Amino acid sequence: MSAEIYRQTKLGDSLVSALEVLVESDKITPELAIKVLSEFDTSYLEAIKNSFKAKTSVKGKLDSYRFCDNVWTFIVSDAKFKTNFTSTASTTHAPEVTVDKVQIVCVDAKVFDAQS
């Protein structure tokens, strides 16, 4: 398991698509595209570790769950999310978000720390 999991986010998917277009049109080399993706993986993980201070609670019906290679995957229906963002000065509460169905993927941070 590596930080490549973040390539499956909207941002990562957009980056991969843009790099594919650039490689196909001979604007950049495939090696440079791989180097950019590697830097993205590292930067995304560092940003999550250092920039986000939030606590989210989820309530809903747990339809299924799975644990494989230090990765938990949960499928939750009728899910309600409540998020609190904390800074040194105050706590901000985001509006509650409700969705019909959501897949939540959780990766143990120790897995990434061991690879560093």
Handedness of CA 16, 1, 112, 85 (dihedral sign): positive
The backbone torsions φ and ψ at residue 49, rounded to the nearest 5 degrees and listed phi first, read -65, -40
pLDDT at 1: 42
Look-up: residue for tokens 């899910």?
Answer: 79
User: Residue 38 carries which side chain, given as an amino acid letter?
Assistant: S
pLDDT at 33: 95
pLDDT at 108: 78
Query: Do the beta carbons of residue 81 and residue 57 sit within 8 Å?
Result: yes
pTM: 0.55
pLDDT at 11: 87
pLDDT at 2: 59
Q: What does the alpha-carbon distance between residue 102 and residue 70 come to, in Å, rounded to a whole number?
A: 20
Query: Do the beta carbons of residue 83 and residue 54 sit within 8 Å?
Result: yes
Q: What does the alpha-carbon distance between residue 35 and residue 33 come to, in Å, rounded to a whole number?
A: 5
Per-residue pLDDT of the chain (116 residues; tens, 9 = 90+): 456 777 878 888 999 999 999 999 999 999 999 999 999 988 887 877 776 678 889 999 999 999 988 889 999 999 999 988 776 566 777 889 999 999 999 887 776 565 55
